[in-house]
């Protein structure tokens, strides 16, 4: 199945879904296989300074990690192509206009937007309005 590249089609079919579990971003210097399996991160990214993990807040708390902000994940259910142009910008701009920070992770099938927990409902409203504007 090939992902969608047309921006209007993507925005009309965005279908944002708010995931119920809160997530946090943490960093570790080393990540071995046993730890990785125990933590079951939603996402991982290796940087020069360490390994960033996106974990369920409950897992981070149980493991004693410190973090700054609690996020909710909004998954856009349309299958977007990794080569689509403008989707991240359109979503980020809409959220910027209402003062919501957005940490976007594009995976193979879907885009996932991590927004501060306190802003999750407003972010959903904003993304649904973005969809309605293009329908």
Q: Among 72, 70, 78, which residue's Cα sits nearest to residue 114?
A: 72
Other CB atoms within a 10 A radius of the CB of residue 66 amount to: 9
What pLDDT, on the 0 to 100 scale, is given for residue 46?
A: 92
What is the C-alpha separation between 14 and 101, in angstroms, rounded?
A: 19
Per-residue pLDDT of the chain (135 residues; tens, 9 = 90+): 789 999 999 999 999 999 999 999 999 988 778 888 889 999 999 999 999 999 999 999 999 999 999 999 999 999 999 999 999 999 999 999 999 999 999 999 999 999 999 999 999 999 999 999 998
What pLDDT, on the 0 to 100 scale, is given for residue 93?
A: 97
What pTM was computed for the model?
0.94
What pLDDT, on the 0 to 100 scale, is given for residue 34?
A: 83
Query: Who contacts 34 (Cβ-Cβ below 8 Å, separation ≥6)?
Result: none
User: Domains of the chain, with CATH numbers?
Assistant: 7-133 (3.30.2130.10)
């Amino acid at each position: 199945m090939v992902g969608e590249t047309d921006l209007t089609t993507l925005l009309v079919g965005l279908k944002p879904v708010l995931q119920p579990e809160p997530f946090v971003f943490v960093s570790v210097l080393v990540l071995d296989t046993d730890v990785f399996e125990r933590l079951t991160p939603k996402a991982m990214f290796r940087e020069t300074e360490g390994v960033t993990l996106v974990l369920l807040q409950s897992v981070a708390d149980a493991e004693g990690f410190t973090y700054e902000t609690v996020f909710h994940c909004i998954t856009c259910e349309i299958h977007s192509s990794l080569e689509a142009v403008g989707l991240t910008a359109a979503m980020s701009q809409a959220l910027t206009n209402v003062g919501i920070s957005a940490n976007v992770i594009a995976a193979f099938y879907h885009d996932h937007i991590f927004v501060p927990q306190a802003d999750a409902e407003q972010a959903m409203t904003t993304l649904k309005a973005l969809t309605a504007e293009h329908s």
